[in-house]
Structure 1
């Protein structure tokens, strides 16, 4: 093979070859990038009009839908990106030519085009008159109050109705054949960056635009629409604030001031003052007084509505309730914005910010993600807080509590031993797929409920409950600047938690395996055969081996453990929201049936145990039914629970005898137990901890510092994570 000649600069031949390849790739990539950019711009500009055709099409006497469609075309022209190296092909240009005001480099493109449009209209009065006529005619024919008072809010105070409305906006096209200015506004300002470029309009451009569009009659209509919208919004806030669901959850001391009762009356006085000020300049002095009085009432209404969150422990929460509170707050903020515009000396500036808010609301109203994230955060927080209360019982902080946890875990292991044989017995019955999963779930659920009634514990149920309790420790801390005491305190809680989990697992496994072996030995002695066949035992070892998908199944089981904790919190919240504990205690029919003392005891018992019952029943059914339902869709999903898996391995050992100890299959299955336990605990804890943090609005920015503190504790005192603290 002929050797490559040396490079001219003395470098290696390979370096020269790679340099030539890089130069070739660079030469090819530049035209490809330009072509890709042109194609992208052409896609963005598809269907857009040239400025000449757009101005020639402005006709104040055209039918209403055409005039509204012209406004939509104008907004599309403002948003459309520039073309590359394209000379002006029309008499006005499209914003690519120089203007009287050279834009700054950071000026958004729609603002540049708006300035260019104003330059053209100032030089051509006939086109300015046509554009002004189109805008004024559309505004006069439209319902201005619909934009100011109704746009951005749900037609009914219910989460489901708002969800349906957003789906309609996302899936169905809108029409410009409407006199609802709110609907037309959504068609005009539908771009994602419309709020940004509206906010970037400078004061000079804003004044030129105001001069172009000024009309005395339209200004009077606009001020009347402002006061009408304020009255409508005040009436809606009053109706929501005085509804039974919110009123019983507000602070009675703040309600005593009757802020919601006086709100509508104050809005009426404001409208009367505005009308008087328009008719006679001498009466204009009373308008600021009425504006300030209404602002004070709005603050009182918001402060009273905020107390709803403080009374959720006694009355519970629902998605519709959260939605109503947020809609009330947003309506009061809209009234504040309208008051800013009504009492401002610079009406153009306030109108600009009002349009910015409305344009930003277009995007928020179209998205389903913000709706769910915003209105489910409070419900998630309440679910997490209820789990946190339960989770405190699973964290041991003293030697006596640690041994009590160990004792209760041993009791849980005893019950799980029976669950193991129940699982094998159900497997021997030829059920159909669904009923096999259902009765397996009933077996699990009954065992977990028995453990709860005996005040014992299962280790894998702890993390999903303890994670919200850990997040509660962080709530209220300045996480951007955690002091050393806060970090050490959180590390102490981590040590308490891991030590508690370790006690739970040790107690479960220390009992379940010997009990299962003892039952198998008793079966050999009494019946001459084990309770589990040899084929079933070998299938169990093959199924639980670490060499298979056991780790993935264990992680999936952690997800089910977390889901059961959410179900438990939701059921408890539902129980409290519908006042079922009070119904059990005081309902005449129940009192007549049980007697007053027993009804009171039942009420207290159900209030204290509803969360645990929901968690145990839901977890059992999830473990039994989810694999069956997944198999229906062709998904190979199974569950791997550490205590149940340990019991199954012990049952297989009791059937196959001591000779199985010489087989690798047994040891690979036994090696899977620590991984199953770790994944059950870690996945459920991690998911619950993240939900608890997000529901509280906590963003942990010092993860590295906390991680370093935990590693330092592991180096200096590793035993503190496993053994109980000294007495």
Structure 2
């Protein structure tokens, strides 16, 4: 029998006419066939319905041009079944048997819901499911729905099914039911009730777990109140939580339903259902409070995953409750089916899991950069001049960095050791700039992009758009000032240091051959632009690590652990220990970001060169200082060398690519953390270009406050 079915399906697939395909498929429908054969038949019927080209139905559907192809095919299917009672009886029997013999709770409760307790377990599970699809002989509706509706577009046409089709589909399930022997099977409405009971228990269990409860007992906005609440206060607060009362409310709904089925009025059932709706809404609000707590107190991937799964269950419970109470409305069942199909498809998508769980984490990681980046945007002339002074100080520190770098490379050490020493040199210089409040131009874009993304929250209003455009203009102006401040100081000072070194010691910092090789290595005609772009990636990566360190420090409450550490208090005193904790909190991200950037600039080129391809760091400030030293070694004759001017052009490309690449990556991540659409971001470009056409000088020098207000 199974081989015969296979041959008939193969013959049906070979047919090109939609009507002939359907006739061949309906002819082999058999409600007495084994479960795997009936499941495979339903899957083939769903594939026929989902095909994009509509069949010719003639007068059956006058407005077929405006109907979805799937709707037209379903209408034609019902018409063919009405003309063939035997086929209709078999199809109806297969549909009833599907609901009777399959586990419906798996679809109602678990479709679209991660079954693993952690993010990485869910990630592995989805990857495994993408390689091994479910078998049609599995007796659960989730497997059948997965195989029948494999496209995310299926939810759209299911949700928009016309009312007349829904009524006819519902009638199809009851056709010729009296011809079958009576079975003791509960109606589908009781499956909905059982699924509601299952979901409310899971929601309550997660909400009362330590992970969530510890973020609900105390107001999330008050991060310093935990130690002022005693056990009795926490007990009362927990009993007031909606998660604590949710299971009891669900039991009351079931009791009211049983009483209604026994003949009591419906008033009690409606009252208990409304109370359950209220508790589910309170649970949703409490979940938002948990996310707010995570946002202020550090984010963990697994915690975000568990809370997001709980919120998905709350939404599913609300949908099931709506469908259960509106069982007489045919559109309610269609909406629930569409939601289940969409959720089931999302549960198979690795990209959906990444987007839904990393948005809040990305928001927290970039938040440190947003707070820090505000200090790197000069919005008026006083801040502009301050940025110039900070950049000049950064260029002065870079002079020492360049000289030490030439000393390290002149020792001709092994590549990895040379990279480690260079990384330590860079890290020490960056830390010195950090504590002296100096500025390195190419580090700013990764910090300032999240600041702009924060302002994207208000672009729905004209004032918000104007504020965003003003910030973009100020950012461009500040970046230009910072790059010029670094380069205009590091280049002449490095040149002067080389000349002073020659005058004092009658020798050069580097040899003539090394000076020529340095100029050639920075040439615009070589791989300099590519290296500069990769250096921009390293600059962005350091800001990412800084944000991660800040999140980790807050999440694990390291500042509190330091402030109340017994040894620190005995050694430094309580006040000094508290000041030390606050100092660590204020500087942990900056220290981690600067150390990681320095080590990456030194070690990553050595590692990449050893394992993949040749790679060298092309940092605009460091390279400008190197050009200054090389010019001092070569003297006036270097002005006639084309290598010098190609190197100058290469340094210019470094300034653009270091800034552009690191800014683009940071801004992309920051926008993703706000869940903004691409169209909303693109709509701001016109406003930016309009501002630049009206006030082009703002890119060079800040305008007066009165001018900015216009």
* TM-score, normalised by the number of residues in structure 2: 0.87
Is the aligned partner of 1:58 residue 2:29? yes
Tell me the secondary structure at the aligned position of residue 282 of structure 1: coil
Is the aligned partner of 1:231 residue 2:231? no
Aligned match of 1:686: 664
Measured after TM superposition, the shift of residue 43 of structure 1 is 9.6
Is the aligned partner of 1:187 residue 2:147? yes
Q: Distance in 2 between matches of 1:379 and 1:293?
A: 34
Match of 2:136 among 163, 168, 176: 176
Measured after TM superposition, the shift of residue 320 of structure 1 is 2.3
Q: Distance in 2 between matches of 1:513 and 1:676?
A: 15
Aligned-residue CA RMSD (Å): 3.1
Measured after TM superposition, the shift of residue 572 of structure 1 is 0.9
Measured after TM superposition, the shift of residue 283 of structure 1 is 4.2
For 1:36-115, what aligned pairs fall within 5 Å after superposition? 50-80=21-51, 96=56, 98=58, 100-102=60-62, 104-115=64-75
Q: Distance in 2 between matches of 1:45 and 1:266?
A: 55
Match of 1:276 among 259, 273, 277: 259
For 1:683-722, what aligned pairs fall within 5 Å after superposition? 683-698=661-676, 699-700=680-681, 701-714=683-696, 719-721=700-702
Aligned match of 2:365: 383
Q: Is the 8 A contact 1:49 1:77 kept in 2?
A: no
Q: Distance in 2 between matches of 1:265 and 1:45?
A: 57
Measured after TM superposition, the shift of residue 46 of structure 1 is 13
Task: List gaps (5 residues or longer) in structure 1.
Answer: 1-40, 84-94
Measured after TM superposition, the shift of residue 539 of structure 1 is 0.5
Aligned match of 1:16: none
Q: Distance in 2 between matches of 1:193 and 1:550?
A: 46
Q: Is the 8 A contact 1:238 1:264 kept in 2?
A: yes
Measured after TM superposition, the shift of residue 102 of structure 1 is 4.7
CA deviations 1:362-389 (Å, max 9, x no partner) are: 3222222222223212222222222111
Q: Distance in 1 between matches of 2:19 and 2:251?
A: 46
Q: Distance in 2 between matches of 1:333 and 1:724?
A: 49
Is the aligned partner of 1:308 residue 2:318? no
CA deviations 1:138-183 (Å, max 9, x no partner) are: 3222221111111110113422122122112211132112122222
Measured after TM superposition, the shift of residue 611 of structure 1 is 1.2
Q: Is the 8 A contact 2:301 2:361 kept in 1?
A: yes
Distance 1:45 1:271, change over 3 A: farther
Distance 1:435 1:181, change over 3 A: farther
Is the aligned partner of 1:210 residue 2:210? no
Is the aligned partner of 1:143 residue 2:103? yes
Measured after TM superposition, the shift of residue 45 of structure 1 is 7.8
Q: Distance in 2 between matches of 1:444 and 1:723?
A: 38
Measured after TM superposition, the shift of residue 109 of structure 1 is 2.6
Tell me the secondary structure at the aligned position of residue 65 of structure 2: coil
Measured after TM superposition, the shift of residue 553 of structure 1 is 2.7
Measured after TM superposition, the shift of residue 390 of structure 1 is 0.7
Distance 1:597 1:190, change over 3 A: same
For 1:279-298, what aligned pairs fall within 5 Å after superposition? 280-298=262-280
Q: Distance in 2 between matches of 1:650 and 1:671?
A: 14
Tell me the secondary structure at the aligned position of residue 458 of structure 2: coil
Q: Is the 8 A contact 1:82 1:96 kept in 2?
A: no
Is the aligned partner of 1:642 residue 2:602? no
Is the aligned partner of 1:623 residue 2:601? yes
Is the aligned partner of 1:608 residue 2:586? yes
Q: Distance in 2 between matches of 1:702 and 1:496?
A: 15
Q: Is the 8 A contact 1:399 1:724 kept in 2?
A: no
Aligned match of 1:667: 645
Q: Distance in 1 between matches of 2:157 and 2:465?
A: 44
Q: Distance in 2 between matches of 1:424 and 1:678?
A: 25
Q: Between 512-521 and 531-540, report the one with greater CA deviation.
A: 512-521
For 1:404-415, what aligned pairs fall within 5 Å after superposition? 404-415=386-397
Tell me the secondary structure at the aligned position of residue 281 of structure 1: coil
Is the aligned partner of 1:244 residue 2:235? no
Aligned match of 1:360: 342
Distance 1:97 1:503, change over 3 A: closer
Q: Distance in 1 between matches of 2:527 and 2:331?
A: 63
Q: Distance in 1 between matches of 2:442 and 2:15?
A: 54
Q: Distance in 1 between matches of 2:541 and 2:363?
A: 15
Is the aligned partner of 1:559 residue 2:537? yes
Distance 1:602 1:218, change over 3 A: farther
Q: Is the 8 A contact 1:495 1:720 kept in 2?
A: no
For 1:267-666, what aligned pairs fall within 5 Å after superposition? 267-278=250-261, 280-478=262-460, 482-483=462-463, 486=464, 488-588=466-566, 591=569, 595-666=573-644
Measured after TM superposition, the shift of residue 673 of structure 1 is 2.9
Is the aligned partner of 1:131 residue 2:91? yes
Q: Is the 8 A contact 1:241 1:247 kept in 2?
A: yes
Q: Distance in 2 between matches of 1:488 and 1:196?
A: 38
Distance 1:709 1:397, change over 3 A: closer
Q: Distance in 1 between matches of 2:22 and 2:476?
A: 69
Q: Between 114-123 and 352-361, report the one with greater CA deviation.
A: 114-123
Distance 1:101 1:723, change over 3 A: closer
Q: Distance in 1 between matches of 2:67 and 2:499?
A: 84
CA deviations 1:694-726 (Å, max 9, x no partner) are: 3224423232123211221115x6652499999
Tell me the secondary structure at the aligned position of residue 174 of structure 1: coil
Aligned match of 2:225: none
Measured after TM superposition, the shift of residue 400 of structure 1 is 4.4
Measured after TM superposition, the shift of residue 658 of structure 1 is 2.6
